[in-house]
Structure 1
């Protein structure tokens, strides 16, 4: 099937994206594009041109191309010389592999933290867990994805290993991109996923290692872990 290149007049660009202000333009465009990926507004398999997206954001094509190049490094898109950027098509197998790698990385770390971190430290993370519940309650997919990453980042940050946090963040972000044609995640599913964060904190406070391991592994198998 031929790639469909979307020009300025008919590009299916993120409908909810607001025009960005001039400071930190590249960063804002990158954030907007990441949100569009999570929301499914950038369609897997489609090709988007820098000028078309730039017109939507109210910026030149340069910061769009720079942001897209970062997304290419993250494995979200591929660069097509003189054409634009194609959103890569994900598969269920890829998501399963990501869940497996995340479990291999994070389960041992979580168990180690459960043995050593004081209960009162885990209490400090309750606002981060609550933020995921608040985002889930509104059905805001992109907002939930960001809050979810922030919670996991806060937990793993207690290990004191910045490289670990960076690698885990990259894997987590990749796991949040939807499959092509997949139905939008229901609010009830987000709420259930968010509830697992609170349950995990309870298990960490109690130093219940079997429950910690079970919750983390099950969480990674969820639709938006």
Structure 2
């Protein structure tokens, strides 16, 4: 695995963790200092992220975490829902004892995470739950496509968990998905996963409001940091 690819993953993880949000500028010098490398592998990593649409490379403005329009987000979540539904269909048809154990373990991890009431903790294990279902589909290409889009939407999927009562709802939906897959009910597994992933109506509005609040909070924190530095200087 190349250094640039490792850096690409590290930057993705930073976005997923909320350290960068859509609209944030990704400065090569700052990133090089953060990861203790030269600018060359950072530039290569940013080019890879740009090719995937995870960031935007703008002339004379550098790299910026992509900001998606509401229409584009809806389209991407619709596609994500269909990919996950396909994974659920195949998982229900092809479930092995090993994959059954992995899905159960991932679900129990979500139960424990939900008990903390912390959306950030829950998101980390929630991702593992979905990846266990991708694996259980026993279709490597489908799994790759689902995981790629999952990562692309990670910042948005994470922030929607902040909506009131969403953790409990998500956990209940997980239980229904596990049940359908174990029963070998392909149609039900697909429908429950599709409904679980689709973000419509009030849920979409809640997600966008939470996302705007997160971005505003980051902006205020940055302004406070600048003010402190000015006072020190």
Scaled by the length of structure 1, what TM-score is found? 0.70
Retained in 2: the 8 A contact 1:76–1:174? yes
Counterpart of 1:68 in structure 2 is: 46
Is 1:215 the equivalent of 2:175?
no
Structure-2 separation of matches of 1:109 and 1:29: 29
Is 1:98 the equivalent of 2:56?
no
Is 1:178 the equivalent of 2:156?
yes
1:196-217 deviation digits (Å, cap 9, x = unpaired): 2233112221234454233212
Q: 1:116 to 1:59 in 2, by over 3 A?
A: closer
Aligned residues: 199
What secondary structure, in the 3-state scheme, does the structure 2 residue paired with 1:86 have? Answer: strand
Task: Flag structure 2 segments of 5+ consecutive residues without an equivalent.
Answer: 208-233
Which of 142, 166, 178 does residue 201 from structure 1 map onto? 178
Retained in 2: the 8 A contact 1:45–1:86? yes
How much does 1:77 deviate? Answer: 0.8
Retained in 2: the 8 A contact 1:196–1:215? yes
How much does 1:100 deviate? Answer: 1.5
Q: Identify the structure with the greater helix proportion.
A: 2
Structure-2 separation of matches of 1:31 and 1:58: 15
How much does 1:176 deviate? Answer: 1.9
Retained in 1: the 8 A contact 2:119–2:162? no
Q: 1:131 to 1:59 in 2, by over 3 A?
A: farther
Counterpart of 2:219 in structure 1 is: none
Mapping of residues 134-153 of structure 1, within 5 Å: 134-138=112-116, 139=118, 141=120, 144-153=122-131
Counterpart of 2:169 in structure 1 is: 192
Retained in 2: the 8 A contact 1:126–1:198? no
Root-mean-square deviation (CA), in Å?
Answer: 3.3
How much does 1:85 deviate? Answer: 0.4
Counterpart of 2:228 in structure 1 is: none
Mapping of residues 1-225 of structure 1, within 5 Å: 26-81=4-59, 83-117=61-95, 121-138=99-116, 139=118, 141=120, 144-178=122-156, 185-186=162-163, 188-209=165-186, 211-222=188-199
Task: Flag structure 1 segments of 5+ consecutive residues without an equivalent.
Answer: 1-22
